[in-house]
Amino acid sequence: MVDHEEEDLRTTEYERQRAAHVARNREYMARLGVLSAVASVQPKPKPNNSKRNQAKVKVEVKGERRRSGRLRGAKVEYTMEDLKDDVEDGARKRRRREGGACRRQNDDDDEAGERRRREEEAMRAWLAESREAMISRRVEPEDAGGWRAEAVRRWGEGVAAAEAGTGAVCWETFVRTRLSRPPPPSPHALLQEFYAHDPWRLLSCCVLMSRVSSWETKHFCISEFFKAFPTPTDFSPQAEDPSLVRDVIRPLGLFDNRFKALVALTSRFLTCESFDVGLDKHNKVYGVGAFGVDSYEVFCKGETKGLDKGAEKALRTYCAWRNSL
């Protein structure tokens, strides 16, 4: 059995962050009752046949070993030819050592690359399976009460805020306008792909990742955010006291702007009967700009052909891949 500390050393930061996003997905799917249909994300371990990792066998030498002539008191004489041979022999040994070090480094790079490739393949397979499981879960309640129960199951009791106005809410419209239709996962494994199954999560993800250059900081903070606030209902009370949110997303910077955007998005998500976002006045949400709207169109609505040429580079790359299929 592999020790947990040893396993942590073998796992790269890339793998740890991806696993954290998958954990958030699994929590969401467990709430909807579709988790059992999806296999684990862990790739099958590859047998390690490296000779360097095999145990070294100590060889016992029988008989008397040759001792240095100096220990026997014998006089050792060196000629210039002997010195030349020693220098050449030393150079050959040094080249062998350096060559061996290069080969070991290349082996390590190859092993890391292979591990990364297998991890990415397993991740894409898991995303594909989870997407199919979510799509196959048909949402067809028989009455308004059933539609309201579905809304609560997905987004928490906070959806009752939609009844605070007139009280007459079409819960079927409420749910259907918030159902996502994510496209297939790509080889690029964009961060948005992990949260494409839920519009609130996808748009929150875009608010948090916007204008953040550090890959590690971005992935860590977003995963921790959804760990603390898995639904808009869980986040909604933070509008009165942002201290917990501040602790979670402080490394991202621009806290006041991000927090204000998250509050505006969550309020709209929980209170509007029909939900949509856009850049027009009617659908504009504070803090959700072109990047968030484009991501919403691509990953929640599956619209990959109408993307503007000035859109974010990774989104254009994804759409080019999707449209080439």
Instruction: Identify the CATH number of the domain in which residue 234 sits.
Output: 1.10.340.30
25 within domain boundaries: yes
- Residue 219: the pLDDT is 93
115 within domain boundaries: no
Q: What are phi and psi of 130, to 5 degrees?
A: -65, -35
- Find the domain containing 251 and state its range: 13-31+133-323
Contact 23, 130 (CB under 8 A): no
Give the number of domains in the chain: 1
- Residue 106: the pLDDT is 67
114 within domain boundaries: no
- Residue 154: the pLDDT is 96
Number of other CB atoms surrounding residue 143 within 10 Å: 10
At which residue do the structure tokens 């608010």 appear? 207
176 within domain boundaries: yes
* pLDDT under 70: residue ranges of the chain: 1-11, 14, 35-87, 100-109, 116, 166
- Residue 149: the pLDDT is 96
100 within domain boundaries: no
- Residue 232: the pLDDT is 98
152 within domain boundaries: yes
- Residue 55: the pLDDT is 52
- Residue 1: the pLDDT is 44
236 within domain boundaries: yes
Return the SS3 of 248. Answer: helix
pTM of the model: 0.73
- Maximum CA pair distance of the chain? 109
Cα 154–Cα 120–Cα 184 angle in degrees, nearest 5? 50
- Residue 286: the pLDDT is 98
150 within domain boundaries: yes
